[in-house]
A and B are shown apart, each in its own frame.
Chain A
Amino acid sequence: MALLEIKNLHARVGDKEILKGLSLTIEPGTVHAIMGPNGSGKSTLSNVIAGHPAYEVTAGEICFKGKNLLDMRTDERANEGVFLGFQYPVEIPGVSYAAFLKQALISKKKYFGEKPLDPVQFIKRLKVRAQALGISDDMLKRPVNVGFSGGEKKRLETLQMGFLEPDFCILDEMDSGLDIDALRVVGQGVSIMREPHRSFLLITHYQRLLDYIVPDVIHIMVDGRIVDTGDKSLALKLEEKGYADYK
């Protein structure tokens, strides 16, 4: 069974239709990348999968692990295993990173009816994971994403992903605002998470992210639809020629 199956998806924001009949199938254990020009609907797709309230699905279906994803609330989708790494992680003043992650974990355990979180174990686990990504204890005490650099924010998104152990990770322009070193750290953070049951959807403009996280499949998205699918050579071709052939 496919992990994620999208059929003929149409979605809009306000009166503007952005996704115009998109279909996509993602098997467990695979890494897919979506590339496409600005305004082609890549970020809309990730927001629709995660359940952003501003996007309205007008037709089509999304099946996740055999369940109808569109019937689930945003928090239910997350607990079922969908993770969206934000292009622009949201700042939340007054809420510390550690408290935020702790609540996310408490919610997951509650969702599955598991016994409550052991706070000591939680802190230990958090520190080990954070250290691997070069995140200091001090950063975890600060408010969520407030005053962090672009690279720090993306490293913290990677930390959350590792911590919540989702089955399907969408990384929306994970490479934007990253220098080469930060890109490598984030790329490694993602690569070590590759598992037979876990899949990734990378949304990116550039080939360079794909040097660190090598995709199995690349899709080209133009005007709300997937217009081409191929292996990683497709990205190299794009780098050379741009999207002119698809317009």
Chain B
Amino acid sequence: MRITNKTLMPAESVHEDVVDASGSYVIEVPEGARYEGVFLLKGETLKIAVHLTGKNAGCVLKIAYLSSTDLKNDIVCDVYHDAPETYSSQIVKGVLAENGTVDYHGVIHIPFNSQKCEGSQNHHAVLLSDEAKVTCVPELEIYADDVKCAHGSAIGALDEMQLFYLQSRGIDLKEAQKMLIHGFLSDLLPGSFEPQIADWMVKHA
């Protein structure tokens, strides 16, 4: 398993896109610095721990997963707000076909002294089959009393009205599904991930 340790400089801003994101990442973000990571998983294990250690440190984690026959994705995300006035956001989106599964466990840790922090977790899964399985545990572990945090998870099939609309314009069901999956992932993943998604769709969608 790939292990990556990264410590940003104060006020540094880092963005990285990671395809085949399997591995363990420990990222330290000091005062005024910002880390943004975009990860794509296709049946892998991703462990991320982010430590926000100084005022105005922040992170944005965008994680997409694709799952299908016997592919299991494991995602564990821990964000530690070790200093006051830090911010974090986790956005996790995935598509599951056949009997694919995913376990997502995300935790926002905010200790006593870390007042005025902001944190959010959002998970959204699209199931293409009745056999696919999602386990999602978005967790908030908050001890400070002056923070803003939100978490949510939505799991469902593709929208019937959207599929009907596309089909009513002559687009067949399979192509319509592909378009909707593309649309669903496109706000999370930049164009550089395109070949990976296209490859998965040919095989599974």
Q: Closest residue to B174 on the A side, CB-wise?
A: A75
A92 touches B164 (CB 8 A): no
Residues of B within 8 A of A94 (CB): 182-187
Residue A51 at the chain B interface, CB threshold 8 Å: yes
Interface flag for B160 (CB, 8 Å)? yes
Decide: A75 and B171 in contact? CB cutoff 8 A: yes
User: What sequence of 0s and 1s flags, for each residue 168-180 of chain B, a beta carbon within 8 Å of any chain A beta carbon?
Assistant: 1111110110011
Q: Is A92's CB under 8 angstroms from B162's CB?
A: yes
Which of B148-201 touch A at CB < 8 Å? 160-162, 164-173, 175-176, 179-180, 182-187
Please, how many angstroms separate the alpha-carbon atoms of A90 and B179 in the complex?
Answer: 14
Residues in chain A near residue B172, CB distance under 8 A: 73, 75, 107
Contact A92 B185 (CB under 8 A): no
Given contacts A92-B162, A95-B182, A100-B179, contact A107 B168 (CB under 8 A): no
> Does B167 lie within 8 Å of A74, measured CB to CB?
yes
A73 to B169, CA, bound (A): 12
Chain B contact patch, size range: 20 to 34
Q: How far is the CA of A89 from the CA of B179 in the complex (A)?
A: 17
Residues of chain A within 8 A (CB-CB) of B169 are: 78, 100, 104, 107, 160, 164
Chain B residue at minimum C-beta to C-beta distance from A90: B165
Within 8 Å of chain B (Cβ to Cβ): is A148?
A: no
State which of A52, A78, A91 has its C-beta within 8 Å of the C-beta of B170: A78
In the complex the two chains form, what is the Cα distance from A113 to B24 in whole Å?
50
Chain A residues with Cβ below 8 Å from B160 are 53-54
A50 interface residue per 8 A CB criterion: yes
Report the interface size for chain A: residues with CB under 8 A from the other chain. Answer: 31
B185 touches A107 (CB 8 A): no
Residues of B within 8 A of A108 (CB): 170
Q: How far is the CA of A143 from the CA of B185 in the complex (A)?
A: 13
Which A residues touch B187, using CB under 8 A?
93-94
- Given the complex of chains A and B, what is the CA–CA distance between A86 and B167 in angstroms? 13
Question: Measured between C-beta atoms, what is the minimum distance from A138 to chain B in Å?
Answer: 18
* Residues from chain A with Cβ under 8 Å of B180 in the complex: 92, 95
* Residues A86 and B165 in contact, CB atoms below 8 Å apart: yes
Q: Are A103 and B171 in contact (CB under 8 A)?
A: yes
The reply to whether B164 and A52 form a contact with Cβ atoms under 8 Å apart is: yes
Contact present for B183 and A75 (CB under 8 Å)? no
The answer to whether residues A95 and B175 also contact, given A84-B168, A108-B170 and a CB cut-off of 8 A, is no
Q: Closest CB-CB distance, B4 to chain A, in whole Å?
A: 30
Cβ-defined contact, B170 with A104, below 8 A: yes
The answer to whether A44 has its CB under 8 Å from any CB of chain B is no
Cα-based distance from A79 to B176 in the complex (angstroms): 15
Q: How far is the CA of A160 from the CA of B170 in the complex (A)?
A: 11
Q: Shortest CB–CB separation between residue A146 and chain B, in angstroms? A: 10
Within 67-103 of A, Cβ neighbours of B (below 8 Å) are at 73-75, 77-79, 83-84, 86, 89-95, 99-100, 103
Q: Within the assembled complex, what's the spacing in Å between the Cα atoms of A83 and B165?
A: 11
Residue of B nearest to A143 (CB): B183
In-complex Cβ contact of A79 among B164, B170, B183 (8 A): B170
Contacts of B168 in A (CB 8 A): 50-51, 74-75, 77-78, 83-84, 86
Question: Is A122 an interface residue, CB under 8 A from the partner?
Answer: no
User: Would you list 23 pairs from A and B whose C-beta atoms are within 8 A, ordered by A residue?
Assistant: A52-B164, A53-B160, A54-B160, A75-B176, A78-B169, A92-B162, A92-B179, A93-B184, A94-B183, A94-B187, A95-B179, A95-B182, A100-B166, A100-B169, A100-B179, A103-B175, A104-B169, A104-B171, A107-B169, A107-B170, A107-B171, A111-B170, A164-B170
Q: Told that A77-B168, A86-B168 touch, could you supply 15 new A-B pairs with CB distance under 8 A?
A: A53-B160, A73-B167, A75-B176, A78-B169, A86-B165, A92-B183, A93-B187, A94-B185, A95-B180, A95-B183, A99-B179, A100-B169, A103-B166, A103-B175, A160-B169
Interface residues of A (CB under 8 A from B): 50-54, 73-75, 77-79, 83-84, 86, 89-95, 99-100, 103-104, 107-108, 111, 143, 160, 164
Chain B residues within 8 Å of A, Cβ to Cβ: 160-162, 164-173, 175-176, 179-180, 182-187
